[in-house]
Each structure stands twice: as structure tokens, then as C-alpha cells.
Amino acid sequence: MPRKGFPRKSDDVLDTVQKYSTENPKETPFVNNRPKAFLKRHPTLIPRNSERVTKANASIAECDIKKWFQEIRNHLTSENHLDIVQDPRRVFNADETGFQAYPTTARILAAKGDKNVYAVQQRNPTESVTVLFTFSADGITSPSLILVSRVSLSRCE
């Protein structure tokens, strides 16, 4: 589930065990430190902090990216501008990152060795700053773009 953006927290496991125990009465010697004992019995799971990713970004597949690049190549070919991709001064990459004013992360359970563990955000963060970084293929940095949260200004009367 973490690979799909829906990680399990320790509380989720405890709730599931409690529900199972309630529905299937049995003498169970539960003691303190249950999450630690559970993790000891399941060495393939480790607690991790999840990375937040929007639902839109979580649904992008490799084939979507390859299709986009093919469409760009087709367009440049049809316009007789394919030479653009041969000049590193004319090829740019941009990426944005958001900084939340009130970041929250939760410890979740993930398989050992998982590089990225995501939690899909259910709603947009209320206060954040977004920074867009742009670089050309020859290593030149363009000025960064900084976006701050929307501020409503009252009307002058």
C-alpha cells in the first residue's frame, strides 16, 4: 500500500488487531510495547516518515512521460525545429518544490529497502511557499520563481 500512496501507520495495525481480537475472542497476552514486538516479529517492516505527494503526481506513469516526450519530438520535427534539442543552451529543466509553513509527517510502516514512501495528501496545504528552479542542459541557472500563499486584500472604499 505505501507504494500506491496509502501507507499504514502503527495505529492502523493496532486498530486491526483490536478489531480482530474483538470479533474472535481468545486469551491474548498483550503487554506494553506491542508495536515494537510486532516489528520484531516482522523484520521486513520498518517505521519511516512518508513523503507527501499530490494525487495528480502519484498517478503519473513512465509511459505517460515517454508519450509526452514523443509528442514534443513529433511537434519539433513537424515545425522543422528538432535542432533545438541538440543545443544544450536551449534545453531546460524546471522543477518546483513546496515548503509548508506547518509540515506534518507521520511514522508509517514500510518494507525494508523501499526508497520512497509516499502519503497522498487529502487536501491542499493552507500555507506554503513554492519555489521553481530552472537549469539549462549546459549548466546555466535561470532566476528562481517564488510563489507565496494567496493573500486576500480588502477593498478600499
Q: Residues 44-68: pLDDT tens digits?
A: 877 776 666 777 777 788 899 999 9
pLDDT at residue 79 tops 90 = yes
14 pLDDT tier (thresholds 50, 70, 90): confident
Assess contact for 50 and 122: CB atoms under 8 A.
no
Considering only residues 82 and 52, tell me which one the structure prediction assigns the higher pLDDT: 82
First-to-final CA distance of the chain: 54
The domain segmentation of the chain, as residue ranges, is 2-148
Amino acid in the structure at residue 53: V
Q: What is the mean pLDDT of the chain?
A: 78
Instruction: Give the pLDDT confidence of 22-40 residue by residue, as tens digits.
Output: 787 777 666 666 667 777 8
Beta-carbon contacts of 116 under 8 Å, excluding residues fewer than 6 positions away, are 51
pLDDT at residue 80 tops 80 = yes
* Mean pLDDT in residue range 117-146: 82
Grid cell of 141 as nine digits: 541557472
What does the pLDDT read at residue 66?
94
Beta-carbon contacts of 105 under 8 Å, excluding residues fewer than 6 positions away, are 49, 50, 52
What does the pLDDT read at residue 126?
62
- Helix ranges (H only) for the chain are 10-23, 34-41, 55-58, 62-78
